[in-house]
Chains A and B, each alone.
Chain A
Amino acid sequence: MATDYVDEVASSIIKQLKEGTAPWQKPWEPGERFMPYNPTTGNEYRGMNAVWLMSRAQSRGFTDARWMTYRQSQEQDAQVRKGEKGTPIQFWKWQGLEPVKDASGKPVLDQEGQPVRQMVRYERPRVMGAVVFNAEQIEGLPPAPLRPVRPEWERHSQAETILTNSGVPIRHAPGDRAFYRLAEDAITLPERDQFPSGDRYYATALHELGHATGHPSRLARDMAHPFGSEGYAREELRAEIGSLMLGEQLGIGHDPGQHAAYVASWIKALENDPREIFRAAADAEKIVKLVRSYELGREQAPDQDQAIGTADPSLSAATEATQQQDTPDEAIRIPTMIRENSPAMQPPSLERTYLAVPYAEKDDAKQLGAKWDRAEKAWYVPAGVSLESFTPWLPAKGSVHIAVDANPAEQFAGAIREAGLQIDGTPLMDGQLHRVPVQGDKGRERSGAYAGHLDGRPAGYIQNHKTGMRQNWKASGQAAALGAQDRAQMAAEAAQKRHDRALEREQEAERTAQQVDAMWTAATPTQAHPYLADKGVQAHGVRQDEAGRLLVPVQDAEGRMWSVQKIGPNGFKQFQEGGQLEGGHFTIGDVQRPGPLLIAEGFATAATLHELTDMPAIAAFAAGNLLPVAQTYRVLYPERDIYLAGDDDRQRETELDGQGRPKVNVGRMKAEEAATAIGAQAVFPSFPTSTQGTDWNDLAQAIGRPQAAGQLQQALAIGQREQAAQGLAAARDDADLEHDRSPLRSIDRPTGRFDAISGRERAAVRELEHDQGR
């Protein structure tokens, strides 16, 4: 599936390259937050993950740069929407906790008899898949936090420091050419005042500096290719992705420059080897790392900061690492894990001395002259080269090196004994069940049993009838390709986890539903409340709790209450925690009565709409919930005129969001999306100049009810005409298709409790509404 993954990622990028929308082909403004980041850790994604998530954001239309796991969203009291598909990313591990072995290869146990584990660095790195969701696939996340845009002088002074400390000479020449010349190791730029802005000047200069990092004295990339060649295009790809990452980090934005010359070569390179884009992104990371290290002062040798062997990307690590290399301190070095059968464990031969090089340090070893043995898959020092500088990687000296126990039969024996079973020597791993005595057995009693096999992926089963213990065992440290059965089992376990998670969510929703039922029963019907007075609307069946808060039920189309919106006397709104909100709504008026149906965001707006028109009105509570509610009622009433009476968040368009972009008019956008999806019309209030407000309630308060009613009737009449013009039948046929195509509903949702209900159930809805006195 790695090939599937690599192929899928590469072909998505190829498609965008052809459209001119690959992440580094688009301009990004200074200060704009465009690189994907994780809101829990605050860190940006790296390497290919960053490029892939940007590419996905582009193809899915996400403008939010935040990506997080399902569990991380839950920890922020937010929830991935039902049916949303995550984006798979890679998680590489260059180090990990591994059991410590004694001289004879037995695991070292602590006082509690548990294996002692130690952080080791891997000679062979490990990779696993992870899945993240975009913030726009998650309900209930706070808006992206504001990131202060650093003043221009600060960004520019930082860039200037980098350029100066890099030691790469920059010449300015009139004209429009910016380039790096490898033979001279120098950058040529147009005059500074030829650039439209300082940010653009530095973006261009740093792009050329990115090329300069490929010089043999620095990262030594494959650079000697003539302009127009494929090799040249590959180098340009690395520099361009590096520019994108740097542009975000330094806040100077990204200017995609002239790409036409390279696009065809890029596409060809990715088509020839889809892994090329992964390598380019990894090289771009190295470019960024080296360029940023120039902020520290003097020119740094490439990748020395990796020598510390931690995942710490902070730049201060670079200086520590340098010191560490000057005076190797073995107490600080994390041991490197190698296999027992690694050639480095054999006595050195005359021709080759094999090394134990953690992956994090491979570039250092390579630069010092270590060679890669393709057959043995290990680094070695060729004969005639002094071993002195390779001391940290010589397994005989240096720090402890742990070789993983390669004998699964001994591992299994240990697990059997740990379980209290008594065996002599090694267990029989022939797939048969073997009965053996356990501690405490008398005479011929044999209360223990085990079965194990060595073929494929060694595994087994242990049972102690005396203690009631049963255990499935599998060999650790054994790397082997998965068989079809392994894959099926892993898929089943993952599906089970998702099922359990969904069940947990349903149970919580059920518990919350019961809580709100009790709250509702204990609350009292109200006619007067400061919020109602403030909004100038009637109660329409809402209640008031002991704390003086209005309770507005959040119901499904069958009338079942899944949550409540609590509104304080000051207008502060809060949903009952843990409740199911998607598709939940509150109806005002008799939805059964023939005639148009109005859907709005808030309770007060819906109340106003009903009071102005006597038409049934539905509060969907949030802009993002308009679509599921609209879909529910479209299925219930395929022939009915439905209007999305949206909020016009017009002032938002004049403000910047936490990512430095103009805010989206969410109310208008979501109402229009929902209207289009179900073949309905959206209607918005139109405010007199210099009047505040966003919704129909604000309008009624601003210009008075009679005038607001007039405007609403007029908007509905226009909506009706437009609907007729579009052709009702056609629009409704399309509605089902739109449902599937909508970006919010790219995958069919499993039938949920808020999904459309059958005709048979409509009577029940009516009954419930009568019960609620509406």
Chain B
Amino acid sequence: MSASNERPRDASADALLSDDPADMMVPGVVVEVDAAEAERLGAFEETALTEAEAWESNADLGDEASHGN
């Protein structure tokens, strides 16, 4: 257990930040891409759920490989 002080922060502040689009669907990872790459990937702003809700749900990524649920 690491010591942590609860502080208001970005929902995904604890994410590992990657610069490789290949890491896009890895749980716990946020990928930073440049503007040209974002355009190639059809970036859009999602408003159907909040960032916190999206972040929380990423534990379900890669569920195929586990028997946890």
Interface residues of A in 73-128 (CB under 8 A from B): 82-83, 85-86, 88-94, 96-98, 114-115, 117, 122-128
Instruction: Write out the residue numbers on chain A whose beta carbons fall within 8 Å of the beta carbon of B26.
Output: 1, 129, 482, 487, 490-491
Residue of A nearest to B44 (CB): A47
CB pair B62 A46 closer than 8 Å: no
Q: Residue among A44, A71, A279, A479 with the most chain B CB within 10 A?
A: A479
CB pair A2 B27 closer than 8 Å: no
Instruction: Write out the residue numbers on chain A whose beta carbons fall within 8 Å of the beta carbon of B25.
Output: 1-2, 4-5, 88, 129
Instruction: Write out the residue numbers on chain A whose beta carbons fall within 8 Å of the beta carbon of B50.
Output: 41
Instruction: Write out the residue numbers on chain B whose beta carbons fall within 8 Å of the beta carbon of A283.
Output: 42
Indicate which residue in A6, A98, A313, A457 contacts B47 across the interface (CB closer than 8 Å): A313
Residue of B nearest to A8 (CB): B25
CB pair A494 B23 closer than 8 Å: no
Query: Which of A469-477, A510-518, A552-560 touches B?
Result: A469-477
Query: What's the Cα separation between A725 and B24 when bound, in Å?
Result: 53
CB distance from A249 to the nearest CB of B (A): 13
Give chain A's interface secondary structure class. mixed
Instruction: Write out the residue numbers on chain A whose beta carbons fall within 8 Å of the beta carbon of B34.
Output: 124, 377
A280 in the interface (beta carbon within 8 A): yes
Query: Which of A12-20, A320-328, A497-505, A614-622 touches B?
Result: A497-505
Given contacts A92-B44, A96-B10, contact A491 B27 (CB under 8 A): yes
CB distance from B53 to the nearest CB of A (A): 6
CB pair B63 A85 closer than 8 Å: yes
Instruction: Write out the residue numbers on chain B whose beta carbons fall within 8 Å of the beta carbon of A277.
Output: 42
CB pair B47 A311 closer than 8 Å: yes
Given contacts A124-B35, A482-B16, A502-B68, contact A311 B10 (CB under 8 A): no
CB pair B17 A281 closer than 8 Å: no
CB pair B24 A129 closer than 8 Å: yes
Q: Residue-by-residue, is B1-43 near A (CB-CB < 8 Å gives 1, otherwise 0)?
A: 1111101111011011111111111111111111110111111
Instruction: Write out the residue numbers on chain B whose beta carbons fall within 8 Å of the beta carbon of A130.
Output: 49, 53-55, 57-58
Instruction: Write out the residue numbers on chain B whose beta carbons fall within 8 Å of the beta carbon of A86.
Output: 57, 60, 63
A362 in the interface (beta carbon within 8 A): yes
Query: What's the Cα separation between A282 and B27 when bound, in Å?
Result: 24
Instruction: Write out the residue numbers on chain B whose beta carbons fall within 8 Å of the beta carbon of A132.
Output: 49, 57
Task: Determine the interface band of chain A, counting residues with CB < 8 A from chain B.
Answer: 35 or more
The interface on chain B, measured as residues whose beta carbon lies within 8 A of the other chain's beta carbons, has a size of: 64
Indicate which residue in A41, A82, A122, A498 contacts B49 across the interface (CB closer than 8 Å): A41
CB pair A494 B47 closer than 8 Å: no
CB pair B16 A490 closer than 8 Å: yes
Query: What's the Cα separation between A712 and B66 when bound, in Å?
Result: 46
Residue of B nearest to A494 (CB): B27
Residue of B nearest to A110 (CB): B7
Given contacts A127-B41, A498-B59, A502-B68, contact A479 B19 (CB under 8 A): yes
CB distance from A640 to the nearest CB of B (A): 31
Interface residues of A in 437-492 (CB under 8 A from B): 457, 469-472, 474, 476-482, 486-487, 490-491
Instruction: Write out the residue numbers on chain B whose beta carbons fall within 8 Å of the beta carbon of A480.
Output: 17-20
Query: What's the Cα separation between A404 and B57 when bound, in Å?
Result: 27
Indicate which residue in B19, B36, B49 contacts A69 across the interface (CB closer than 8 Å): B49
CB pair B57 A49 closer than 8 Å: no
CB pair A129 B27 closer than 8 Å: yes
Q: Residue among A129, A472, A479, A497 with the most chain B CB within 10 A?
A: A129
Per CB-CB distance, the 3 closest pairs between chain A and chain B, nearest first, are A47-B44, A278-B42, A2-B24
- Can you list 8 A-B pairs with a CB-CB distance of less than 8 A? A38-B48, A43-B49, A86-B63, A91-B46, A357-B35, A377-B34, A377-B35, A470-B3
User: Which residues of A pack against B, CB within 8 Å?
Assistant: 1-6, 36-38, 40-41, 43-49, 67-72, 82-83, 85-86, 88-94, 96-98, 114-115, 117, 122-132, 275, 277-283, 285, 311, 313, 357, 359-360, 362, 372, 374, 377, 379, 419, 457, 469-472, 474, 476-482, 486-487, 490-491, 493-499, 501-502, 750
Given contacts A46-B45, A131-B63, 19 further A-B contacts (CB under 8 A): A36-B48, A41-B48, A46-B47, A49-B46, A85-B64, A115-B7, A124-B33, A124-B34, A129-B25, A130-B53, A132-B49, A275-B41, A281-B42, A282-B43, A359-B35, A469-B3, A474-B16, A491-B26, A498-B59
